[in-house]
Structure 1
């Protein structure tokens, strides 16, 4: 049986600020992120299985990514918890805003690494995460490939 890659795409809105950065992105701002999640595996060959012919049901992949990424990061503001933005984060939280504090500088590069770990931990053992593409703007994105990170 052939090995197949399938991809599901997701959209979410997230704000962030890059502490210590020397450009405009040091200011709190947001992006309309597009996340493409590609997994790899062999289609199910058991004709009695309701998911016969599928590598993974797109709805199962959607559930994982929504629970781990989209529902968490959508309309949130992400700050590195080890920066002075922590004071701003606390103020926003007291005013009812959804704030996420992470261990890393919230660049697309670091976010895609974080997302890969979260998604990989939830995939069935016969399905592997092949790649992620996190598009921050129309012309800028970060990619993660399993083959680069084994």
Structure 2
């Protein structure tokens, strides 16, 4: 059972940071897109589409609000730098020249996010995971760079 607080807590002037370690946060997005594969002898050789699920994970030291990265900042990177190339697009035209496999795409997404992250507090990208179907994904991690 939830009880209604008698008053809202107010800052005391002390640090709001409890964790003094690096923390990872992740945000998930979905987008629909069409593509076809080159040099592939299977049904994905033909034009087809997916509802992709994208996970972007970044880490950093906490700021004075006790946040590593605001989820809204990750969303802004997605909206401004990824979504225009991915959502409801023909990926073979909207992405740089590549075979539009999940493996190639996840690396391109990783590089785009890394390029647009804030530079303070050692914020860095940890991984990008791209689901092509509910049970099949590709992933690229910072330590593999």
Q: TM-score range by the shorter chain?
A: 0.7 to 0.9
Residue of structure 2 equivalent to 1:145: 141
Equivalent-residue separation in structure 1 for 2:106 and 2:126 (angstroms): 13
Equivalent-residue separation in structure 1 for 2:109 and 2:53 (angstroms): 13
Q: Deviations over 1:71-104 (max 9, x none)?
A: 321000121xxxxxxxxxxxxxxxxxxx415221
Residue of structure 1 equivalent to 2:11: none
Higher alpha-carbon Rg? 2
Query: Which residue of the other structure, out of 39, 44, 49, is the alignment partner of 1:20?
Result: 39
Q: How many residues align?
A: 124
Matched, 1:119 2:130: no
Residue of structure 2 equivalent to 1:33: 52
Structure 1 residue ranges, 4+ long, deviating more than 4 angstroms after superposition: none
Is the CA contact (8 Å cut-off) linking 1:12 and 1:75 kept in structure 2? Answer: yes
Is the CA contact (8 Å cut-off) linking 1:14 and 1:30 kept in structure 2? Answer: yes
Which sections of structure 1, spanning at least 5 residues, go unmatched? 47-51, 80-98
The two structures have a TM-score, normalised by structure 1, of: 0.79
Over 3 Å counting, the alpha-carbon distance change for 1:62 and 1:130 in structure 2 is same
Which sections of structure 2, spanning at least 5 residues, go unmatched? 1-19
Residue of structure 2 equivalent to 1:95: none
Equivalent-residue separation in structure 2 for 1:74 and 1:10 (angstroms): 10
Question: What is the root-mean-square deviation in Å for CA atoms of aligned residues?
Answer: 1.1
